[in-house]
Every structure is written in structure tokens, then in C-alpha cells.
Chain A
């Protein structure tokens, strides 16, 4: 027995000694001494390109990098297969990571910051990334702080709109007597009715029940804001308005939801979509391009590419977008921290990493190499736009770098696959947009995990039938839906959400006065 104990304790000691030895490995970085050549890694999300073009482009980039800062950048890919696990493990493992793509709304950035995964940048930025430091205004830096320290560089100068709306055909709308751009859901109904009456064989809106339009309806009919938390198929909780942005409300328990259910029941009864819409697997976008349906629903970025494709496939169709914000003027900007970059807490060369980033973000030549590839291979310039070269072959020449960590509008070259009048929508948005107020809000689900799951089950189970008018009498369906939400724990989640928003409000207001 004692022999056995001795053996075990000897083993224990050995393990402890070994682990201490392993932790004792000293870190030696090159500091800001540029005489030593270093490799800076950049963690990107995506599958590693396999056709060799990426390496060719990086060779060009690194030639310039070596000249300017005596360093090279190397991409480290986190593949789409189970990327969330791998991304978080990479940060948790303490592996030395230099530059890493972040996103507060999809990459757990604040939780990782809480675990100390990122290096504070306040002292390093002005010295090693001066151009970036100057180009980002103070209020945007405030959005990038955790516990008062800057932990990320936001992608704040890049326009991308992912606000949703309906896409409809301008030519058919004209024939239906709709001469103005559509501004409300009633006119959308009128447009669908015209297709129903005049285009035999065309399904006015060949919708799929997997997405709900209730969020869009709320945006169009109320000043309510969407929160960065999910209740599954359709949003149950919103906040009251931009000015009253810390007060939780639920449109489900107001007439908003009943009106929605009633209107959708009308649309269903009039045959604006398939009878078997709940089982429809037909791809709406493909049907639209084939001229088999007159409407589709997605966000502005999708629209900008789809418009160009539609001009080719259905010439003269003049595809238009009715953004849900148009009816009410209720529109939030994208969070500027949706994209960005951080430096890993264990980076050996944070100084050189920042220098490299400063170049990628602000040096036009490097920026365009990294974002578009090589001129003459991946793109040609024609009338100021990027076009595919004549001998371009998708398999051999395709290039992407998934650099979503600091793109800048000023260095972008528009592509001919993007609608050239997309600016008309952008300027409409610019007139009404409000800054995103929930960039630093993270809803902590631990206290209401099971209620939230139950609520998501209710929305998944009854949401599609109500959204597409297949749930019988709307008033009754809405009542059932509300009852089930109550049973699932709606009140508890509401109270918890309000509690956390109050705390967030206090935090935001104290930060504002500092």
C-alpha cells in the first residue's frame, strides 16, 4: 500500500515540475527594434484557398512589408467546420496570436476580452499604428473598450448595410400603377395582387416559411429597436425607441402582432404565396431570376448584387428594394465592431503587428492586393470599376482573403457585380440612420437559459403558421401564441432582460460622462 502511495506522489511531483518547467518558457519579442525580421500572423475565418493565387498575392504584399517594416504577414485560417469552437479554443489556449479577426456580435469578443484574451492597445496604438489611431474618432474608440481599455480596432469606415426589406420588380410595379418607390406594406399588397390578377403562372411571392417577416413588420410600423439576442424564429423582445433605448417592450403582446397576423392571413387567403408554403423548399431567389415569382426578401448587400444579376437574367425588370425602414424611418447603423481586429494577449510582436495592420488598412497598394488580388489576374479596371478579366477562370484564378478587420471605403474599388446606383439607397439610409446603441451589450443567458429555449421552441412551432396566415383565425392564433409564451417563461425573461439593460444603461451613462 505505502509503496503505491509513494509511486503516486512521485508521479504527482513529476507532473507539477514538468508543468512548471513548461510555463517557464520565457517570451522574447523583437520589441520595436526593426532590425530583426519577424513574421506577423493574422487569424482569418474561412477555408484556406487552394489554387495557389493567395500565396502569389501574399508574396507581393510581403515584398512591400519587408521593405517598409522588415516583417512578413502570414494568414492563419480558422475553417468554417465548427469555427466557433476552434476560434475560442485558439484564444483560450494561450497560443501566441498576433492579429485576429473579431466581431462583437458574432465572435464572442466581449467574453473573450473578459477572459483576458486580448492585449490592451491604448499605449501601443499612437506609436505603432499612427494612421489608424488618428483616423478613428474618440466615440468609436469608446465603443472598442473593455473595462476602460481599448482591446480592438473597429472596422468603422466601411459601409455595409444588412437591413432587410422586400425586393420587387420595378417594371411590374409600373404596370400595376405604382409610380413611386414603394413605401409601405399596403402598397406591397397591391403589387402582389396585380401579379396575381395579371401574371398567370407566376406566384406573386414564392416565399419560404423558414424566415419570418415579423421583425420587418415591427420595424415598419413602430419605432422599436431590435436587441442583440435571439428568441428563435421571430423577435419577442424589443426596446421602445432610440431615445428610450433601455426599456424593454414586446410587440407580440400589442396590436402590432395582431395586425401582422391579420394582414398575413389576408395575403394567404388571396393566394400571394403557395398553399403549401410551410413545406415549400423552392429557392425564392432562383425563382425570381427565372421570372416565376415577383418578390424576394433579404438585406441591402444581397440586393446590390441581385439587381445586377436580374438586369442580366430578366432584362428591363428594374428590381427595386423596399427597405422596412422606409415606412417609419426606423433604422440603426451596423455596429462598428461587427468587424475589426485585436491583438492576442500572448503576441510576441505586438508592435510589428500593429505596424503591419496600419499598412494593410491604410496603404492603398497593400490594401487592394489583400482585398482584391492582382490587377490583370483577378480583376481589370474598366470605367473605374472592377471587372473580371477576359481569360479569368473561377477555379484557377479565384482569390479571397476574408480580411473583415478594417476595410475602408476610400480604398474600395466598386465592382461591376454591385449595382452602381446603390448609393441612392445609402443616401436614403444616411438621412435616417441612428448609431448602434448595443455594441457593448451582451445578454447573459445563464439565469434564463431554459425559459429562453422554451420561448424559442414556441416561436419555432407556431411562428411560421402565423407568419404565413395558415393558423386559422388570427385573433385566436395570436391569443394561443401569447398564452404559450407566458407558460414558457416570458415574464421571467422580460424581467431579467430589463434588469441587464438597466445595468447597461448605468454603464453607458457613466462612460459618457468620463
Chain B
């Protein structure tokens, strides 16, 4: 069978049927649905607009009138502080993007391989290994051993790998992949074997193309994980590095502003000069902006994989 021609069919919509006259009740129900869904969508949008609006408001206006979608007093001061050092923020963006891209590609590949291997009925240790993986979700050594492992044994302090490696394999995602691949009949693997394909060929040419929805979902999880990753970066990447992941950079901008506000030592900075509330919003906008672009990009893969008809029953 030729998978490529099958793949071409995906995404093309079936031809539209001729218009059928609808009666009134159907129209009412349909419009009620439209209105309800629109309202729901707007209510999801509101918090975003609130963040966006507040980030462009002057601090004093926020203090007086609270958060608003439409700025009371337009100001870009919060962004000026966040972008005070453009070189740094661009560098952080690049670091985060690099880690996200590399981590997602490598992580997705490893997770998919693990998930596939663990559900092969002819793999005898699959249950034991699954248990090992599952076990780590319940018990962990705790923070200090983990810290020692990364810094003392792997010597990855101030190395981007310290952020990349821990995120590559997530037990939850492996289990997810495993249960998805299970829905692909084992007969496909067997028939390919008869045709002389090796395990890796089967995985690459048959299993992966049939798992696009799972890959898209899991890939999105991994990518978001790396994009929002700041904890490992905070632990293992010291200020001696020139560029550190974006979330950590932004977090530092906010905490140091917080600290300046609260410290009596900063006698040469007036308290009111630090736009703390609006700055939090501005950093949120800077951090989430690109993520919103992830979604349309992967959405087209959220379609049921074609397993139906691949095996003659």
C-alpha cells in the first residue's frame, strides 16, 4: 500500500452537498449555538485582552482604576524596562527557541520510540520496563539528589544540556504514546515484517505516519514544557552565563523590580518609578506571544490517523 497517496487525502474536505432547505427550528438552534460559542470564545479571550491592555497602561492609572482592557493612560514604560537591554532579550529568545526546537524533535522521537516498543506484544520485558517508568511518577529522590546528579556527576552546571535533558522523557507522555500506538493493529507490524522490513523501517515508515495526531499532541506538550521551562534553568544556569532561557530572564526582571521596590537601600530610585504591576503584564505578553503561534501550526495534525482499512480484516 502506498501511504503517501493516502496522506494526500487528509485535509481535503469532501465535496459540499447541495443546499437543503432548513426549517425554522433548525435555524434557531443553529444560531443559538453560534451565539453561545461566540460568547464562550470571547470569555476565553478577555483575560488575554486584559493582560494586553494593562501592559500598555501607566502604573499610576492601574493603581487608581485597576486593570482595564482599554488603557486609561497609554504608556509603553513597562515594555521599555523589559526591553531595556534588547541584546539580552533577543539572546534569551534564541536560547529558548533553540532548546524548544531541539528538545521537541529529539524528545518526540525518543518518546515515540519508547511508547512503540513498550506496547509490542513480542517484547518480553515490556511490563517490567513500563513499571520502572511508571514508578518514577510516584517516587523521586527529591531535589537535593537531583541537584547533585546534574551538578556533581554529570557536571552540567551552566550548560544548556541541564535544561534540555530532564525534559526529554516524560513518563506521562510515554504512557500516552503507548496507549495510542496500541490502537494501531499489531497485524500491520507483522505484515511489514513478512515483507522484509526491519523494526526501524516499520517504525519510521508505518507507525510514525499513522500516529500524527498523537505526535502532534505530545509534541505540543513537550514544546510548551520547554518554552515555559524556568525551574531547571533557575537551578542550573548561573548568572555567569551570557544568555539564559526567556522565562528565567523575564522572571528575573520582575523579581529584581520587586526587590528594588521593597529595599530601603535603593534610595536613589523612587518607589513609584518601578512599574511593577504593568511590568508583570508586559512580561506575560512577551512570554506568551510566540506560543499562540504554535497552535495554528500544529492544529492541522489533530486528525484521526488512518488506521482504518490498512488491514484487511
Chain A positions 11-58 with a Cβ under 8 Å from a chain B Cβ: 18-19, 22, 47-48, 50
Instruction: Tell me what chain B mostly uses at the interface: helix, strand, loop, or mixed.
Output: helix
Q: How far is the CA of A283 from the CA of B256 in the complex (A)?
A: 19
Smallest CB–CB gap between B126 and chain A, Å? Answer: 12
Smallest CB–CB gap between B68 and chain A, Å? Answer: 14
* B234 engages A86 (CB within 8 Å): yes
List chain B residues, Cβ under 8 A from A50: 85, 88
Q: How far is the CA of A395 from the CA of B273 in the complex (A)?
A: 14
* A286 engages B272 (CB within 8 Å): yes
List chain B residues, Cβ under 8 A from A417: 267-268
- Contact of B271 with A by CB under 8 A: yes
Q: Name the one of B148, B264, B272 contacting A302, with C-beta atoms under 8 angstroms.
A: B264
- Contact of B313 with A by CB under 8 A: no
Contact string against A for B residues 255-274, beta-carbon threshold 8 Å, 1 for contact and 0 otherwise: 11011000010011011100
Smallest CB–CB gap between B89 and chain A, Å? Answer: 12
* A89 engages B63 (CB within 8 Å): no
Contact string against B for A residues 74-93, beta-carbon threshold 8 Å, 1 for contact and 0 otherwise: 00110111100110010011
- Contact of B128 with A by CB under 8 A: yes
Q: Name the one of A19, A80, A415 contacting B259, with C-beta atoms under 8 angstroms.
A: A80
* A47 engages B252 (CB within 8 Å): yes
- Contact of B151 with A by CB under 8 A: yes
- Contact of A180 with B by CB under 8 A: no
List chain A residues, Cβ under 8 A from B63: 281-283
- Contact of A285 with B by CB under 8 A: yes
Most A C-beta atoms less than 10 A away, residue of B240, B264, B271? B264
- Contact of B90 with A by CB under 8 A: no
* A92 engages B255 (CB within 8 Å): no
Q: How far is the CA of A395 from the CA of B106 in the complex (A)?
A: 41
Smallest CB–CB gap between B150 and chain A, Å? Answer: 10
Contact string against B for A residues 275-302, beta-carbon threshold 8 Å, 1 for contact and 0 otherwise: 0000001110110010000000011011
Known contacts A283-B63, A283-B271, A309-B270; is-contact A93 B151 (Cβ 8 Å):
yes
Most A C-beta atoms less than 10 A away, residue of B88, B258, B270? B270
Q: Name the one of A79, A93, A305 contacting B264, with C-beta atoms under 8 angstroms.
A: A305
Q: How far is the CA of A394 from the CA of B63 in the complex (A)?
A: 26
* B264 engages A92 (CB within 8 Å): no
- Contact of B152 with A by CB under 8 A: yes
* A89 engages B147 (CB within 8 Å): yes
Smallest CB–CB gap between A75 and chain B, Å? Answer: 10
**Least CB separation from A404: chain B residue:** B265
Q: How far is the CA of A378 from the CA of B169 in the complex (A)?
A: 50
Q: How far is the CA of A305 from the CA of B144 in the complex (A)?
A: 41
- Contact of A95 with B by CB under 8 A: yes
List chain B residues, Cβ under 8 A from A389: none
Q: How far is the CA of A81 from the CA of B234 in the complex (A)?
A: 8
- Contact of A126 with B by CB under 8 A: no
List chain B residues, Cβ under 8 A from A305: 264, 267
* B239 engages A285 (CB within 8 Å): no
List chain B residues, Cβ under 8 A from A299: 264
- Contact of B123 with A by CB under 8 A: no
Q: Name the one of B84, B151, B255, B264 contacting A95, with C-beta atoms under 8 angstroms.
A: B151
- Contact of B288 with A by CB under 8 A: no
**Least CB separation from A22: chain B residue:** B153
Smallest CB–CB gap between B278 and chain A, Å? Answer: 13
- Contact of B143 with A by CB under 8 A: yes
* A80 engages B256 (CB within 8 Å): yes
Contact string against A for B residues 51-88, beta-carbon threshold 8 Å, 1 for contact and 0 otherwise: 00000000000011000000000000000000011001
Contact string against A for B residues 112-144, beta-carbon threshold 8 Å, 1 for contact and 0 otherwise: 000000000000010010000000000000011
Chain A positions 51-77 with a Cβ under 8 Å from a chain B Cβ: 76-77
Known contacts A302-B264, A305-B264, A417-B267; is-contact A93 B252 (Cβ 8 Å):
no
- Contact of A181 with B by CB under 8 A: no
Q: How far is the CA of A19 from the CA of B264 in the complex (A)?
A: 47
List chain A residues, Cβ under 8 A from B152: 22, 93-95
- Contact of B248 with A by CB under 8 A: yes
**Least CB separation from A7: chain B residue:** B125
Known contacts A47-B239, A92-B144, A281-B63; is-contact A418 B234 (Cβ 8 Å):
no
List chain B residues, Cβ under 8 A from A47: 239, 252, 256, 259
List chain A residues, Cβ under 8 A from B64: 282
Smallest CB–CB gap between A54 and chain B, Å? Answer: 11
- Contact of A2 with B by CB under 8 A: no
Known contacts A19-B153, A47-B239; is-contact A285 B267 (Cβ 8 Å):
no
- Contact of B251 with A by CB under 8 A: yes
List chain A residues, Cβ under 8 A from B153: 18-19, 22
* A418 engages B267 (CB within 8 Å): yes
Q: Name the one of B85, B248, B267, B270 contacting A81, with C-beta atoms under 8 angstroms.
A: B248
Q: How far is the CA of A48 from the CA of B158 in the complex (A)?
A: 15
Q: Name the one of A4, A80, A92, A418 contacting B252, with C-beta atoms under 8 angstroms.
A: A80
**Least CB separation from A83: chain B residue:** B255
- Contact of B159 with A by CB under 8 A: no
List chain A residues, Cβ under 8 A from B38: none
List chain B residues, Cβ under 8 A from A92: 144, 147
* A80 engages B144 (CB within 8 Å): no
List chain B residues, Cβ under 8 A from A48: 239-240
* B235 engages A4 (CB within 8 Å): no
- Contact of B191 with A by CB under 8 A: no
- Contact of B201 with A by CB under 8 A: no
Q: How far is the CA of A281 from the CA of B61 in the complex (A)?
A: 11
Q: How far is the CA of A92 from the CA of B146 in the complex (A)?
A: 12
Smallest CB–CB gap between B243 and chain A, Å? Answer: 12
List chain B residues, Cβ under 8 A from A301: 264
27 CB-based A-B contacts, threshold 8 Å: A18-B153, A47-B252, A47-B259, A50-B85, A50-B88, A79-B239, A79-B255, A80-B252, A80-B256, A81-B234, A86-B235, A89-B144, A89-B147, A92-B144, A93-B147, A94-B152, A95-B152, A283-B272, A285-B271, A286-B270, A298-B264, A299-B264, A301-B264, A305-B264, A308-B267, A395-B84, A417-B268
Binding site for A on B (CB under 8 A): 63-64, 84-85, 88, 125, 128, 143-144, 147-148, 151-153, 234-235, 238-240, 248, 251-252, 255-256, 258-259, 264, 267-268, 270-272
A sample of 18 more A-B contacts (CB under 8 A), given A22-B152, A85-B143, A417-B267, is: A4-B125, A22-B153, A48-B239, A48-B240, A77-B238, A79-B255, A80-B259, A89-B143, A89-B147, A92-B147, A93-B144, A93-B151, A93-B152, A283-B63, A286-B270, A286-B272, A309-B270, A394-B268
Query: Top 5 closest A-B pairs, CB basis?
Result: A305-B267, A48-B239, A417-B267, A80-B255, A286-B272
